[in-house]
A and B are shown apart, each in its own frame.
Chain A
Amino acid sequence: MSSADWQATVLTLQLAGLSTLLLLLLTLPLAWYLHQHRSRWSRLVDGLSLVPLILPPTVLGYYLLLAFHPDSAFTRATQVLGLPSLAFSFSGLVIGSMIYSLPFALFPLRQAFAAIDRNVLEGAACLGCGPAGRFFQVGLPLALPGIAASASLCFAHTLGEFGVVLMLGGSIPGETRVLSIALYEHVEAFEFAQAHQLAAMLAISAWLLSLPLLRLRRP
């Protein structure tokens, strides 16, 4: 494998790992909150979280690109906060991936929390377990299979991301040239041996990542 492809592989793993980690940190409390508080607002959030699932990735990428444009209100706001420009950068890709994979992270968690017996949580509350304790000592341990599923779905989904990356990041080696972009470029250049390598790598990792999902089907 060429050093450019290695670089793309490392970059992709970094992108997928970081997106998954940040997304879990965001969606774990969010899913718990939505589980604990059922209101009109929580239904709205549930509905909004579905949008990235339905929106074509290129459309999502296009809107994010507009948001990250140097003249946009969003960019001006981030500049006031002293943050670097997000267009065509690794950080921009992380944000794009997080939005793109949000439903894949949130839904298994919502399912896992919903599957916890209400009696168990109420019982813990009566024993003196406060709201934070119920999240950390009851919710998280009982949702572990769901958390594993959420992480692997999210990671796999980010590995194969193409449309959003192409729109938002282009193909800057070491910054935004991820595996799926590299694969696309090899095919464009009729380099089928390299394309085969990358495609096989993505396919095998997809299969490996599907293993944690099997645990979900156990009763």
Chain B
Amino acid sequence: MSLQLDVQIQRGPFRLHAQGQFPTGITAIMGVSGAGKTSLLRGIAGLDPSLGPILLEGQDLNRQPVHRRGIGYLSQRGALLPHLTVEQNLRFAQKRGTRPYTEAQSAELIAELDLRPLLARRPQQLSGGEHQRAALARALIGGAQLLLLDEPCAGLDHQAHNAFLSYLRKLCSHHQLTAVMVTHQAWEAARCADFAAEITGQSPHAFLGPVAAINQLLCEDSLATRRDALACLDLPVAGYDANDHLLSLRCGAETIAVPLARPPGTDTQRILITAQSVSLSRAADQPSSALNRITTTLDALIPAAPGEVVARLNTAAGFFLARLTTRSCRTLALHPGDTLIAQIKATALS
């Protein structure tokens, strides 16, 4: 199910025009702090007023008050009702949902999110990650097909953060959900999103750009020049070396090796390549400890900071980035269109 919107959101001097179609899957909304990411989600949910159509399954949500929209909404703190246990919170949502889960479906959801040991606890007795997991179940149990997530992992430690994103991905693909997630971290978007859009421009005229495949946006100039810039590639699995714990992924005619403790359960794997972990050379035969040497074409050089540029590299599997000094750029005499060998340390991949 897809969400289509063309809305104006105004709050004081701030104005945002958001236009786009969000397909089934997870879409990350990126943008600097204060760009209006949260305002957009609140507008879609009906928590703040917005003007214009918000179409979900052909129905205009903007004609409905917040409690009739049937949207799953997850804020930074999941906001479970503090006077109820996790189980009672789930029942609360199930009772009021538009298409509530059956008992069997609820049991499955609880199992999927590993919530069974937490059911009798009150929100005060949960860790941050557990709280968000319970809140995720609560957002879905009423039958919401659209899930809005406002930086759901803010304040979680790295492990809990990763775990939450895994749960989110699993649920979204299993239940065919349309999820819109606000994030300001590129790696978070790269880790779990299928699509991305960026809020560009400054208030009073911010604009939500078109929804595109996630990697395409990550490699666009505005995000590629950020210090945490990275790319994500979905690559087919070629094999697994159990002795060296190395996973081989197919990238065109070449392979990319990634350390992985156990053999993967899926046919394709997503890898995140940070711009900082890639170096470039002209020839492939120089000895190096970097396992991965991929033949690429230089697509563009983007000035990133004084003395630093980002090289956008094209491969058969898509773009990725390399952050270089302008001096090495000059030494190698780089020009768009050049064929280059990108060296990526396998241990820098995840």
Contact = CB atoms under 8 A, between A and B. Distances in A.
Interface of A: 117, 119-120, 122-131, 133, 137-138, 141-142
B67 interface: yes
B312 interface: no
Interface in B211-245: none
A124 B77 contact: no
Contacts of B69: 126
Nearest to B73: A126
A124 B253 CA distance: 52
B66 A126 contact: yes
Contact of A126 (B45, B77, B80, B81): B45
- Tell me if A's interface is mostly helix, strand, loop or mixed: helix
Please provide the 3 A-B residue pairs with the shortest distance between their CB atoms, ordered closest to farther.
A128-B96, A123-B79, A119-B79
Contacts of A129: 67, 92, 96
Contacts, number: 68
22 contacts: A119-B76, A120-B80, A120-B81, A120-B82, A122-B66, A122-B73, A123-B73, A123-B75, A123-B81, A124-B81, A126-B66, A126-B67, A126-B71, A126-B139, A127-B96, A127-B97, A127-B142, A128-B67, A128-B93, A128-B98, A129-B96, A131-B67
Contacts of B96: 127-129, 133
A136 to B, nearest CB: 12
Interface in B61-89: 65-73, 75-83
Given A123-B73, A123-B75, 18 more contacts: A119-B75, A119-B77, A120-B80, A120-B82, A122-B66, A123-B81, A125-B66, A126-B47, A126-B73, A127-B96, A127-B138, A128-B68, A129-B67, A129-B92, A130-B65, A133-B67, A133-B96, A138-B81
B78 to A, nearest CB: 7
Given A122-B47, A122-B73, A141-B83, A127 B92 contact: yes
A122 B79 contact: yes
| Contact residues on B (Cβ < 8 Å of other chain), bracket | 20 to 34
A77 B93 CA distance: 49
Contacts of B139: 126-127
Contacts of A131: 67
A128 B79 contact: no
B40 to A, nearest CB: 15
A125 B75 contact: no
A129 B83 CA distance: 16
A34 to B, nearest CB: 20
A122 B68 CA distance: 13
B93 A127 contact: yes
